[in-house]
């Protein structure tokens, strides 16, 4: 026993010296991976000294039940174990704290109290071994060490649970009721998003990236990489860029494994930054038609305490079922935290399939909100929607329904709101559902229903509100942007077709990349003939209205198709597409859904592909690369492009090489086309090389890292 005790004391002494060394020089220390693993065991081992110190106190209370020698041996063993476990726990805690991004003040208090407890138990052990025993001193020392233990535990709870965690139930005052009148828009709508998705890692106690979001003043100051946003410019804001990174990227926020932001929440944050990221401005201070106000109003309604008290007659489905429902083109999430009611949003009309709507039958009882805005939904599809019997809100804006199928929705007795704006629904067709008992609002702006007919509906159905205009403000408004009818890749001979939802609008356009104006630019009268890929820019103008924002879109036209395509260097294993066939399959990708088979991603390797046109090659004078431009996702244009040509893969020569101008600041993500023109040739074999950015520029958040190059199609003209 004495030998074990002596070895233990020496080991504990060594740990005390090491702890003091770490306390002084921790800023200069970098831990190897295996010690980081030891650090993560701190939450497991910290319970050992707690139990031993409590056991030590119990033995002291029952001292008279032991013989003198027995009591001394028991006390010595308990003191050795207490000092050793306290020392190891403090050491592991130090390992965990190094590089852990915890709040500096709370962390320092916890470290110091842990070291004090470790030293105190060590000194009690040494004293008990070598000094004449005084039970009063022993009792006092053990009681004092338990008090230090309580302090250490308290500072640890502040780190993991926040200030006043233990006493909060009895000391916290009731929170003031938050209303539209007394609270800022940030407090009402934006802050709840941060509370659910961000505060757990960015608070006073645990500040990832040194960013504290729970304090407005500290949030404004930013973290170790600077401010999290740029007022008025969400596309250049670090916070938004990190949200849009691929899920597996180290900088993606929230990290993989955490609950992700919904598309609606992302739009809300972007609108808040676009409006100036104001923390004090109240909801009613924003204009009626302001995008942020409309999004915030929707958010507040969804999170209101009245909604949270609704008791639904159905049970919640498992998180696994919800996870299965989520795809790149469909998002399903609870209506509010811990709610069994579900909300489903659909995206990208080109990828919409009726099957993806049918798959929601697995959650048909729980589905309460269904957003099919801009999807190619028809009247026939309303039969399927009618099976979701608990629907309270349906968004069918800008779908292809005409109204004949609305009678199929008469079974939805819980339906409170339906949006039919931008559809061909008439007044007569609409009346089929206006007797539904719960229906309270119907959105009918931009439909054939006239103002006079709207008045008739209001008189016939006084309990229902009919929203006939998007804005209540009657001052000068801006037109919506023109619509390109035939999106995707045009076949040879197809004509570009533009339209606008408002009659009497003049559409001005350009195909050469220049910005059209309302006076001198070409007017769209008839469909436009194009023979190769062009950059279409168009705006809508009308007397009494502001011209619309620009429609900017790359219009692709099919070219000559090679007989065989070969990838000469493999794409990154995360983004392999379908090999070389992805480059000529006529499928366009989406810049925010990079896992699609349309995309090939390159980072370590340059993009190199061979295109074989066989024995009767066509004359070619231009090659166009269709690529993704998503700077927030580290996806840049290539730096250099080379085109080689010859009779076969072994007999080729360089035809053209170009340097590609690189971005100098953040801009919105887009699909871009890079054209390489050269003298007309009829080579049987072409090789195209495109090199990704080797080092991201200094202005970028990932400066110095390698960039990505994503390509989905290659066209030959």
**CA 468 → CA 132, 392, 455, 463, distances in Å?**
92, 20, 10, 16
Per DSSP, the three-state class of 2 is: helix
Q: Is 614 left (phi over 0), alpha (psi -120 to 50) or beta?
A: left
- Which pLDDT score, from 0 to 100, does residue 36 have? 72
* Region 568-597 average pLDDT: 86
How far apart are alpha carbons 28 and 30 in whole angstroms? Answer: 7
Residue 712 scores a pLDDT above 50: yes
Read off the pTM.
0.43
Runs of H (alpha helix) within 376-491: 382-385, 427-430, 451-460
Is the CB of residue 685 less than 8 Å from the CB of residue 634?
Answer: no
Tokens found for residue 435: 């007797």
pLDDT of the residue at 161: 59
Q: Taking residues 179-185, report their average pLDDT.
A: 75
Question: Pick from 61, 72, 176, 58: which is nearest to 125 by CA?
Answer: 72
393-395 and 367-371: which strand pairing? parallel
What would the DSSP string read from start to end of 210-236? G---SSHHHHHH-BTTB-S--TT-GGG
Exposure class string for 563-577: b at 16+ Cβ within 10 A, else e: eebbbeeebbeebeb
- Per the DSSP assignment, residues forming a β-bridge with 68 are none
Closest CA to 6 of 80, 78, 85, 82: 80
Phi, psi of 214 (to 5 degrees): -75, -20
The H-assigned helical ranges of 62-103 are 68-97
Instruction: Classify residue 717 by its DSSP letter.
Output: -
Q: Looking up tokens 């407090």, which residue turns up?
A: 187
Q: Is the pLDDT of residue 236 over 50?
A: yes
Q: How far apart are CA 94 and CA 230, in angstroms?
A: 36
Cβ neighbors of 574 (< 8 A, separation 6 or more) are 246, 248, 601
Residues paired with 499 in a beta bridge: 483
Q: How confident is the model at residue 69 (pLDDT cuts 50, 70, 90)?
A: confident
Joined tokens for residue 603: 């980072």
CB 335 within 8 A of CB 307: yes
Which runs of E-coded beta strand occur in 150-292?
A: none
DSSP assignment of 305-340 equals HHHHT---SSPPPPHHHHHHH-BTTEEEEESSTT-S
Element (H, E) at 35: helix 33-39
Sign of the alpha-carbon dihedral angle for 38, 44, 46, 49: negative
Ranges assigned E (strand) in 417-533 = 417-419, 441-443, 465-467, 483-484, 489-490, 495-496, 498-499, 506-510, 522-523, 528-529
Give the lowest-confidence range in 174-183, 240-249, 583-592. Answer: 174-183
Where is 243: in which H helix or E strand? helix 238-244
Residue 659 pLDDT: 96
**pLDDT at 305 (0 to 100):** 44
Whole-angstrom distance, CA of residue 590 vs CA of residue 611: 24
What DSSP designation does 603 have?
Answer: S
Mean pLDDT of the 595-611 span: 92
Give residue-wise pLDDT tens across range 454-504: 999 999 999 899 987 654 444 446 678 888 888 778 888 889 999 887 778
- What's the pLDDT at 114? 85
H helix and E strand count, the chain: 20, 26
Range 703-708 contact pairs with CB under 8 angstroms and sequence separation of 24 or more: 705/634, 706/603, 706/604, 707/603, 707/634, 707/635, 707/636, 708/572, 708/601, 708/602, 708/603, 708/633, 708/634, 708/635, 708/636
Q: Which pLDDT does position 567 carry in this prediction?
A: 95
Given this model, what pLDDT does residue 181 score? Answer: 66
Which pair of tokens denotes residue 598?
A: 């349309």
pLDDT > 50? residue 570? yes
User: Where do the DSSP E strands lie in 52-194?
Assistant: none
% the chain with pLDDT above 90: 33
Answer whether residue 653 shows pLDDT above 60: yes
Could you count the other beta carbons within 10 Å of the beta carbon of residue 487?
Answer: 13
Q: Which is more confident, 277 or 42?
A: 277
The two beta strands, 534-541 and 607-612, are unpaired
What is the pLDDT confidence band of residue 390, given thresholds at 50, 70 and 90?
very high
| Long-range interactions of 422-425: CB distance < 8 A, separation 24+ | 422/397, 422/398, 422/446, 422/447, 422/501, 423/396, 423/397, 423/398, 423/399, 423/447, 424/448, 425/401, 425/449
Measured from the Cβ of residue 540, the count of other Cβ atoms closer than 10 Å reads 28
Q: Residue 256: what pLDDT? A: 67
CB-based contact 223:210 (threshold 8 Å): yes
pLDDT of 170 higher than 70: no
CA-closest candidate to residue 633, choices 597, 598, 666: 666
pLDDT digits (tens, 9 = 90+) for 262-286: 877 888 898 899 888 999 888 888 8
- Calculate mean pLDDT across residues 584-590: 85
297 or 167, which is more confident: 297
Q: From the centroid of its chain, how far is CA 21?
A: 41
> How far apart are alpha carbons 421 and 411 in whole angstroms?
22
- d(Cα 459, Cα 623) in Å, to the nearest integer? 62
Question: Would you say 641 and 690 are in contact if contact means Cβ atoms under 8 Å apart?
Answer: yes
Query: Rounded mean pLDDT of the chain?
Result: 84
Pick from 435, 569, 452, 448: which is nearest to 503 by CA? 448
DSSP, collapsed to helix, strand or coil, labels residue 687 as strand
Question: What's the CA gap between 84 and 121, in Å, rounded?
Answer: 9
Q: What is the mean pLDDT of residues 187-214?
A: 80
What pLDDT does residue 474 have? 40
Residue 327 has a pLDDT of 80
User: pLDDT tens across 96-131, in order?
Assistant: 776 555 555 667 778 888 888 888 888 888 888 776
Q: At residue 362, does pLDDT exceed 90?
A: yes
């Amino acid at each position: 026993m004495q030998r074990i005790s002596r070895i233990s004391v020496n080991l504990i002494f060594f740990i005390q010296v090491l702890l003091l060394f770490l306390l002084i020089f921790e800023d200069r220390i970098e831990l190897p991976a295996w010690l980081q693993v030891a650090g993560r065991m701190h939450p497991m081992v910290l319970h050992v000294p707690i139990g031993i110190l409590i056991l030590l106190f119990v033995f002291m209370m029952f001292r008279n039940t032991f013989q003198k020698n027995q009591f001394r041996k028991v006390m010595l063993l308990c003191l050795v174990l207490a000092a050793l476990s306290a020392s190891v726990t403090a050491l592991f805690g130090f390992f965990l704290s190094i590089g852990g991004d915890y709040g500096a003040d709370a962390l320092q208090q916890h470290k110091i109290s842990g070291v004090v407890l470790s030293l105190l138990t060590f000194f009690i052990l040494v004293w008990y071994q070598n000094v004449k025993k005084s039970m009063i001193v022993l009792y006092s020392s053990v009681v004092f060490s338990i008090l230090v233990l309580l302090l250490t535990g308290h500072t640890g709870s502040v780190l993991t649970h926040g200030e006043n965690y233990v006493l909060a139930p009895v000391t916290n005052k009731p929170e003031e009721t938050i209303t539209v009148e007394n609270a800022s828009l940030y407090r009402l709508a934006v802050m709840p998003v941060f509370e659910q998705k961000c505060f757990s890692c960015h608070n006073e106690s645990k500040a990832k990236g040194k960013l504290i979001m729970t304090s407005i003043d500290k949030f404004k100051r930013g973290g170790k990489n600077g401010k999290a946003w740029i007022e008025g410019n969400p596309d250049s804001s670090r916070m938004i860029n990190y949200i849009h990174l691929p899920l597996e990227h180290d900088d993606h926020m929230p990290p993989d494994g955490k609950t992700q932001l919904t598309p609606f929440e992302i739009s809300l944050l972007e609108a808040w930054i676009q409006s100036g990221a104001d923390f004090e401005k109240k909801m009613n201070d924003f204009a009626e038609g302001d995008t942020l106000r409309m999004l915030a109003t929707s958010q507040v309604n969804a999170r209101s305490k009245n909604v949270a008290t609704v008791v639904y007659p159905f049970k919640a489905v498992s998180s696994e079922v919800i996870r299965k429902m989520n795809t790149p083109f469909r998002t399903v999430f609870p209506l509010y935290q811990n709610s069994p009611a579900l909300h489903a949003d659909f995206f990208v009309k080109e990828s919409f399939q009726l099957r993806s709507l049918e798959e929601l039958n697995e959650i048909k009882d729980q589905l309460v909100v269904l957003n099919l805005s801009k999807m190619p939904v028809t009247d026939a599809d309303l039969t399927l929607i009618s099976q979701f019997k608990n629907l309270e809100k349906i968004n069918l804006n800008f779908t292809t329904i005409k109204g004949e199928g609305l009678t199929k929705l008469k079974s939805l007795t819980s339906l409170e709101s339906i949006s039919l704006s931008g559809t061909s629904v008439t007044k007569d067709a609409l009346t089929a559902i206006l007797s539904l008992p719960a229906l309270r609002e119907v959105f009918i702006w931009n439909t054939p229903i006239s103002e006079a007919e709207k008045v008739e509906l209001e008189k016939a159905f006084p309990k229902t509100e009919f929203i006939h205009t998007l804005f209540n403000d009657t001052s000068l408004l801006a037109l919506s942007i023109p619509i390109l009818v035939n999106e995707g890749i045009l076949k040879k001979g197809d004509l570009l077709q533009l339209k606008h939802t408002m009659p009497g609008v003049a559409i001005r356009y350009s195909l050469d990349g220049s910005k059209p104006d309302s006076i001198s630019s070409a007017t769209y009268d008839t469909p436009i003939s194009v023979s190769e890929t062009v950059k279409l820019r168009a705006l809508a103008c009308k007397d009494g209205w502001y011209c619309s924002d620009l429609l900017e879109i790359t219009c692709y036209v099919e070219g000559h198709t090679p007989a065989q395509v070969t990838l000469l260097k493999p794409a990154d294993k995360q983004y392999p597409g379908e090999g070389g066939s992805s480059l000529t399959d006529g499928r366009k990708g989406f810049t925010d859904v990079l896992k699609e088979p349309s995309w090939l991603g390159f980072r370590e390797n340059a993009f190199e592909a061979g295109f074989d046109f066989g024995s009767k090659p066509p004359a070619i004078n231009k090659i166009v690369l269709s690529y993704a431009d998503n700077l927030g996702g580290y996806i840049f244009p290539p730096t250099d492009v080379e085109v080689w040509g010859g009779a076969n893969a072994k007999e080729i020569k360089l035809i053209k090489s170009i340097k590609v101008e690189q971005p100098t600041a953040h801009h919105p993500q887009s699909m871009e086309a890079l054209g390489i023109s050269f003298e007309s040739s009829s080579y049987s074999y072409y090789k195209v090389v495109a090199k990704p950015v080797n080092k991201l520029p200094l202005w970028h958040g990932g400066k110095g890292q390698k960039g990505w190059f994503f390509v989905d199609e290659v066209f030959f003209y």
